Amino acid sequence: MTAYGEHVCIVRVCRDCCCGTERKHPGVDHDGLLARLEADTRGHARVLRSDCLLACDESNVVVVTPSPAGRRAGGRPVWLRAVLDDAAVDEITRWVRLGGPGVGPVPDPIGRRAFAPSGLALSWAAV
Ligand code: FES
């Protein structure tokens, strides 16, 4: 048992040199998307901000790390690209509320958004 619960995922939201910036993604309400994600996953995930995850070409990057129960069931962190609008946030929220990685099949919208990070990104993020 963890301090946050057996069924609580971690959602790591990149906010650094590219992700979350007006320079790279003008007109996107980055703060609003983060607030929506935090509010709608409350009780199901801890939402953390991250420094650059070394996958800037895929920005905005979000990594969903399984809950302890999901990890025991075989779930592994899933890296998601282009989280730039309400629809993307809502896809993540729905999945996390269903249990996230390791708990049931990966929904199609999440699978289409997922990408394999580089080895460097993986070692840097250590998720
Ligand atoms: S700023 Fe997000 S991957 Fe680089």
Q: Quote the pTM value.
A: 0.94
Residue 16 C-alpha to ligand 1 middle, in angstroms? 6
Which residue from 16, 84, 124 has its CB within 8 A of the most atoms of ligand 1, so it is best to mutate? Answer: 16
Average pLDDT over the chain, rounded to an integer: 94
Round to whole Å and give the CA distance between 108 and 15.
25
List Cβ neighbours of 26 (8 Å cut-off, separation of 6 or more): none
pLDDT at 127: 64
pLDDT at 1: 56
For the ranges 36-45, 79-88, 97-106, the lowest mean pLDDT is seen at: 97-106
**Looking at the predicted structure, is the pLDDT value of residue 87 above 60?**
yes
Round to whole Å and give the CA distance between 22 and 20.
7
pLDDT at 121: 84
**Ligand 1 pocket member 55 (CB < 6 A):** yes
Residue 60 C-alpha to ligand 1 middle, in angstroms? 7
